[in-house]
């Protein structure tokens, strides 16, 4: 095979693009119709794919390439400014309206996004010699498979490609993680030794499977990256996601979600935190259930950003009224009183109407519609209740951050031994097989869901943080005293 154009002057003769060895291998891997170049964050994936598209455009006059990101803001943040900075106007022009580069030799590079799964159908009948998905795990396998059928050449372009020793191909670049982690891993990472081109046995759906290859990208492969970037990756609180992104490890995003949980660190004796809890912002976080258990967790935000879960109720089969009575019965005298707010942060599903009464939608989103579970709660608790921020991935990430042990040797989440179901189910919760940053929603997740609602409110940037009118006493940092007494 004749050598490819491997240096591209980017418009800045002082800093030409010279591929690092794995990028070089990926540029040359024409024996694979489908290529995945993936792994660690910052490994040089986006740099490679832009160069791959530009090489083909320069090399094969009249050729067409397309680069996908999942959303337009993604393109706007990454690909578009980088291409504008690197491709001189003397080589190609960028048309903002249709996001297309037109090269002087007639080649084009389109930039596109696929918001809905079926948006690929817009490409019916299209023909590209190079199709690229940046951050492939953000896409579905259907989208990838559909577009793969569009990777082909004909006529003069095909003749030029044959003469140059290159062929049409589809390239994905990605980090592990994301909603498509499992299909991408199963398709590219698991079947064969890394770096080798392979084919899988034909099936009814795919009688002629295309050749595939996975080239791993590591941060260490990219000497151009700012060395402090590794520190940024080291600060990711979920240890498995950290390994996945820092080391390009595809295997760690399996098994349980909260591996950093340690009973000896995160569980404390009921009497250990000897503080007047009413002085601190407190909430009751509620996950709804009738047939499945319902869970209420009492939580306080103590100095040093320490979240303390101090009581739990966990039971199936209670009506809404019985749940409210159980909450009130569990509380100590004076725990909830005038001037001592103890708001309920509740599963947004509790606002769903059970019996529609045809009344108008309340103006305040926290006002429960008549007939809803929340309306029953309101009879008991008045207006001091609100919908939890239900952003799942952010909520789990906030729990990761609290579980992390800080320099003082302590985490920022402590659970009283009086919460046996949270202590039992949080460490057992499996990762989702659909989206590794999430948990498996078929698992027993009621106490962790309640914890997530509470944590988002107290520490994770819930829509509205708890505001209290209580005067806080000047208290010594809790973690300081715990460090000497507890551990």
Ligand X SMILES: Nc1ncnc2c1ncn2[C@@H]1O[C@H](COP(=O)(O)OP(=O)(O)OP(=O)(O)O)[C@@H](O)[C@H]1O
The C-alpha atoms of residue 51 and residue 8 are separated, in whole angstroms, by 8
Q: Is 174 in the site for Mg ion (CB under 5 A)?
A: no
Q: Which residue has the tokens 């910052």?
A: 42
- What's the alpha-carbon Rg for the chain, to the nearest Å? 28
Choices 40-48, 65-73, 177-185, 392-400 (CB under 6 A): range interacting with ligand X: 40-48
Least spacing, CB of residue 67 vs ligand X, in Å? 12
Q: Is 46 in the site for ligand X (CB under 6 A)?
A: yes
Q: Is 19 in the site for ligand X (CB under 6 A)?
A: yes
Q: Is 138 in the site for Mg ion (CB under 5 A)?
A: no
Of residues 219-238, those binding ligand X (CB under 6 A): 222, 224-225
Q: Is 46 in the site for Mg ion (CB under 5 A)?
A: yes
Q: Is 41 in the site for ligand X (CB under 6 A)?
A: yes
> In residues, how long is the chain?
487
Token pair for residue 449?
Answer: 């869901």
Least spacing, CB of residue 426 vs Mg ion, in Å? 33
Task: Determine whether 129 is exposed, middle or buried from the number of CB atoms within 10 Å of its CB (0-12, 13-18, 19+).
Answer: buried
Of residues 148-187, those binding ligand X (CB under 6 A): 175
Nearer to ligand X by Cβ, of 148 and 225: the residue is: 225
Nearer to ligand X by Cβ, of 163 and 235: the residue is: 235
Nearer to Mg ion by Cβ, of 245 and 403: the residue is: 245
Q: Is 421 in the site for Mg ion (CB under 5 A)?
A: no
Contacting residue, 17, 214, 261, 280, with ligand X by CB under 6 A: 17
Tell me the three state secondary structure of residue 451. helix
The set of residues, in sequence order, having a beta carbon less than 8 Å from that of 257 and lying 6+ positions away, is 396, 429, 430, 431, 438, 439
The C-alpha atoms of residue 50 and residue 364 are separated, in whole angstroms, by 48
Contacting residue, 10, 22, 30, 43, with ligand X by CB under 6 A: 43
Q: Is 300 in the site for ligand X (CB under 6 A)?
A: no
Q: Is 137 in the site for ligand X (CB under 6 A)?
A: no
Nearer to Mg ion by Cβ, of 43 and 462: the residue is: 43
Q: Is 272 in the site for ligand X (CB under 6 A)?
A: no
Strands in 290-409 per DSSP E? 294-302, 306-315, 344-346, 385-387
Q: Is 4 in the site for ligand X (CB under 6 A)?
A: no
Q: Are 238 and 438 in contact (CB under 8 A)?
A: no
The C-alpha atoms of residue 252 and residue 229 are separated, in whole angstroms, by 21
Q: Which residue has the tokens 């498509």?
A: 180
Q: Are 196 and 157 in contact (CB under 8 A)?
A: no
Choices 36-44, 333-341, 355-363, 406-414 (CB under 6 A): range interacting with ligand X: 36-44
Judged by beta carbon distances under 5 to 8 A according to partner kind, the member of ligand X, Mg ion, none in contact with residue 175 is: ligand X
Judged by beta carbon distances under 5 to 8 A according to partner kind, the member of Mg ion, ligand X, none in contact with residue 349 is: none
Choices 13-21, 155-163, 195-203, 280-288 (CB under 6 A): range interacting with ligand X: 13-21
Contacting residue, 42, 177, 436, 454, with ligand X by CB under 6 A: 42
Which residue intervals of 194-319 are DSSP H helices? 229-234, 239-247, 263-266
Task: Choose among 374, 370, 349, 373: nearest CA to 361.
Answer: 370
Residue nearest to Mg ion (CB): 46
Residue by residue, DSSP assigns 105-137 as: TS-EEEEEE--SGGGGGGGTT--BSEEEEETGG
Which positions lie near Mg ion, rule CB under 5 A?
A: 45-46
Which positions lie near ligand X, rule CB under 6 A?
A: 17-20, 23, 41-47, 175, 217, 222, 224-225
């Amino acid at each position: 095979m004749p050598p490819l154009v491997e240096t591209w002057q980017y418009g800045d003769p002082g800093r030409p693009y010279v591929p690092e060895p794995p990028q070089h291998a990926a540029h040359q891997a024409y024996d694979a119709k489908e290529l995945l170049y993936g792994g660690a964050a910052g490994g040089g994936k986006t740099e490679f794919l832009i160069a791959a598209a530009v090489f083909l455009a320069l090399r094969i006059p009249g050729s067409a390439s397309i680069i996908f990101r999942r959303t337009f803001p993604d393109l706007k943040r990454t690909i578009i400014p980088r291409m504008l900075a690197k491709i001189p106007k003397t080589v190609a022009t960028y048309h903002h309206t249709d996001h297309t580069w037109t090269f002087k030799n007639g080649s084009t590079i389109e930039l596109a996004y696929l918001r809905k799964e079926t948006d690929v159908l817009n490409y019916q009948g299209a023909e590209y010699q190079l199709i690229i998905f940046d951050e492939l795990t953000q896409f579905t396998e259907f989208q990838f498979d559909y577009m793969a059928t569009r990777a082909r050449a004909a006529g003069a372009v095909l003749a030029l490609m044959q003469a140059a020793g290159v062929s049409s191909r589809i390239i994905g670049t990605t980090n592990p993680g994301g909603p498509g982690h499992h299909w991408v891993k199963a398709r590219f990472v698991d079947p064969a030794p890394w770096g080798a081109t392979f084919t899988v046995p034909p099936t009814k759906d795919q009688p002629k499977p295309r050749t595939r290859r996975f080239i791993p990208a590591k941060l260490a492969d990219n000497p151009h990256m700012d060395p402090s970037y590794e520190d940024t990756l080291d600060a990711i609180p979920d240890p498995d996601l950290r390994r996945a992104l820092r080391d390009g490890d595809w295997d760690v995003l399996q098994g349980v979600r909260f591996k950093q949980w340690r009973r000896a660190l995160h569980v404390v004796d009921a009497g250990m935190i000897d503080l007047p809890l009413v002085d601190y912002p407190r909430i009751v976080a509620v996950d709804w259930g009738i047939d499945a258990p319902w869970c209420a967790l009492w939580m306080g935000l103590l100095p040093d950003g320490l979240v303390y879960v101090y009581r739990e109720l966990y039971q199936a089969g209670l009506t809404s009224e019985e749940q409210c009575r159980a909450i009130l019965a569990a509380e100590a005298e004076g725990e909830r009183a005038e001037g001592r707010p103890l708001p309920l942060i509740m599963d947004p599903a509790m606002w769903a109407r059970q019996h529609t009464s045809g009344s108008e939608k309340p103006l305040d989103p926290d006002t429960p519609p008549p007939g809803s579970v929340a309306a029953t709660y309101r009879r008991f608790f008045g207006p001091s209740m609100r919908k939890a921020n239900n952003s799942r991935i952010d909520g789990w990430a906030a729990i990761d951050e609290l579980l992390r042990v800080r320099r003082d040797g302590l985490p920022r989440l402590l659970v009283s031994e009086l919460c046996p179901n949270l202590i039992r189910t949080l460490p057992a919760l499996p990762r989702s097989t659909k989206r590794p940053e999430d948990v498996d929603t078929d698992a027993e997740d009621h106490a962790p869901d309640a914890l997530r609602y509470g944590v988002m409110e107290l520490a994770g940037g819930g829509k509205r943080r708890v505001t209290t009118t209580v005067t806080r006493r000047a208290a010594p940092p809790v973690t300081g005293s715990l460090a000497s007494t507890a551990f």
